[in-house]
Amino acid sequence: MTVSREWLEKDYYAVLGVARNASQADIKKAYRKLAQQHHPDATKGDKQAEERFKEISTAYDVLGDEAKRKEYDRVRDMAASGFRFGPGGGPGGPGGTRFEDLGFGVGGLGDLFDLFGEGRAGARARHGADLVAEVEVSFEDAMAGTTVPLRVTGTQPCQTCHGSGARQGTAPVTCPQCGGAGSVAVDQGFFSLSRPCPRCGGRGQIIEDPCPTCAGSGSTTATRTLRVKIPAGVEDGARIRLAGRGEAGPPGAAPGDLYVAVRVRPHRFFQRRGADLLLTVPVTFPEAALGSNVKVPTLNGAVTLKVPAGTRNGRTFRIRGKGAPKRRGGHGDLLATVEVEVPGKVSREERDLLKRLRDAGGPSPRAHLGTEE
Ligand SMILES: [Zn+2]
Ligand SMILES: [Zn+2]
């Protein structure tokens, strides 16, 4: 399927005078009527009518084909949602809406998305590339917040020319071909579009005397060490954006951003669920049956958990404010779940006590199953 860049510029629904949600039958009807009116046989060499007929045919060629129509709608939705097409592109630029030549017309939907990807990269070409890095921190550091060193290799503004690309004592000058606009108009049949200026590559400026250190690129490749602040309470997989800490851009352009993915190592016994921490607290059968005060760890020292008499296995106690720090202040809770331990090995004395306990009787826990006498 051929995707024309004209799709971005022409509203075929308006051309055929139908609503965007018109049925295929309505579109066909509207086309037939218009085609009859403007057919060259009927208009006899009227240039304007001929153009109009061409326009109608093109519009129907797309809207009359359900698959093409779908793709057309999608392209225009993407354009409307603020996709930028190349330097200086988009509504509001000088000379109205302009689109960089993205080489439309090569293929189907997959290609189209690739083209949009390129288009976006083109729009970002005036910025440096974004960088992605990863840091790993301990559970405790993630809870308390920390600062970690991060070595990043990439381009950075040239130290000699401070990113201008021009030899010291000189400066980039306005491009004579585009007058600094960065783009030039190209006539393409009955519509015109603008392309990045071939002389300055869309920058609007040229460097006549390049900086010898960076050969005019304005940037050099280097390894730098950053200190990345990890906010308290950060979760595993979080991404921290450091604006302007990515790669250097072309001369005069802003640098890209640095995205740091945070890996949090698991804790020995705390688990995390949102801002809450989960902890399993083993207790003995007598502790659960008789009740007891059990010391449990928190992120900042032990606290005493009162286990009431008759506590069942698996009961969870909420210890307020002892969870992970929340982004907007405060803390989550610590959820301590009691796990009644059954000893695997018992001493002779314990065995005697347990036998006495068993023989003391009491109602069977299986009474409801109806199998007990
Ligand atoms: Zn330089
Ligand atoms: Zn230029």
Distance 8 CA to ligand 2 centre (A): 25
8 Å CB contact between 207 and 172: yes
Mean pLDDT of 97-122: 34
| The amino acid at 243 | A
Mean pLDDT of 252-263: 87
Q: What is the pLDDT of residue 41?
A: 79
Domain's final residue, options 244, 264, 284: 264
Residue 177 lies in a domain: no
135 and 246 co-located in one domain: yes
Residue 186 lies in a domain: no
Residues by chain with Cβ below 5 Å of ion ligand 2: 175, 177-178, 197, 199-200
Query: What is the dihedral angle through the alpha carbons of 284, 285, 291, 296, rounded to the nearest 10 degrees?
Result: 20
- How many other C-beta atoms are found inside a 10 Å radius of the C-beta of residue 160? 16
Residue 190 lies in a domain: no
250 and 330 co-located in one domain: no
| The amino acid at 284 | T
Q: List phi, psi (to 5°) of 28.
A: -60, -45
Q: What is the pLDDT of residue 325?
A: 94
Residue 183 lies in a domain: no
Mean pLDDT of 207-224: 89
Closest ligand (CA of 163): 1
Rounded Cα gap, residues 269 and 263, in angstroms: 18
CA distances from 121 to 78, 94, 213, 342 (A): 15, 21, 27, 62
Residue 256 lies in a domain: yes
CATH of residue 291's domain is: 2.60.260.20
Range of the domain at 234: 131-172+207-264
The band of 10, judged by pLDDT with boundaries at 50, 70 and 90, is: confident
Distance 206 CA to ligand 2 centre (A): 7
8 Å CB contact between 324 and 333: no
Q: Which two tokens stand for residue 57?
A: 């045919």
Mean pLDDT of 316-328: 94
Mean pLDDT of 216-226: 88
Distance 184 CA to ligand 2 centre (A): 8
Distance 217 CA to ligand 1 centre (A): 7
Closest ligand (CA of 218): 1
221 and 286 co-located in one domain: no
Rounded Cα gap, residues 190 and 184, in angstroms: 17
299 and 347 co-located in one domain: yes
252 and 295 co-located in one domain: no
- Encode pLDDT of 132-157 as tens digits: 889 999 999 999 999 999 998 888 88
116 and 137 co-located in one domain: no
Distance 170 CA to ligand 1 centre (A): 11
CA distances from 149 to 133, 220, 248 (A): 12, 21, 20
Mean pLDDT of 247-258: 82
Q: What is the pLDDT of residue 247?
A: 87
151 has which bridge partners? Answer: 225
Structural domains of the chain, count: 3
Q: What is the pLDDT of residue 59?
A: 93
Domain's final residue, options 264, 285, 306: 264
pTM over 0.75: no
Q: Output the average pLDDT for the chain.
A: 82
Rounded Cα gap, residues 362 and 343, in angstroms: 22
pLDDT above 80: residue 330? yes
Distance 35 CA to ligand 1 centre (A): 61
34 and 155 co-located in one domain: no
Mean pLDDT of 358-373: 84
| The amino acid at 185 | A
Q: Please, is 176 exposed, middle or buried when counting C-beta atoms within 10 Å of its C-beta (0-12, 13-18, 19+)?
A: exposed
**pLDDT greater at residue 43 or residue 285:** 285
Rounded Cα gap, residues 284 and 313, in angstroms: 10
Mean pLDDT of 153-181: 88
Q: What is the pLDDT of residue 5?
A: 66
State the helix-helix crossing angle for 47-63 and 66-80, rounded to 10 degrees: 100
245 and 332 co-located in one domain: no
Strands (E), 158-246: 173-174, 183-188, 191-196, 205-206, 219-230, 239-242
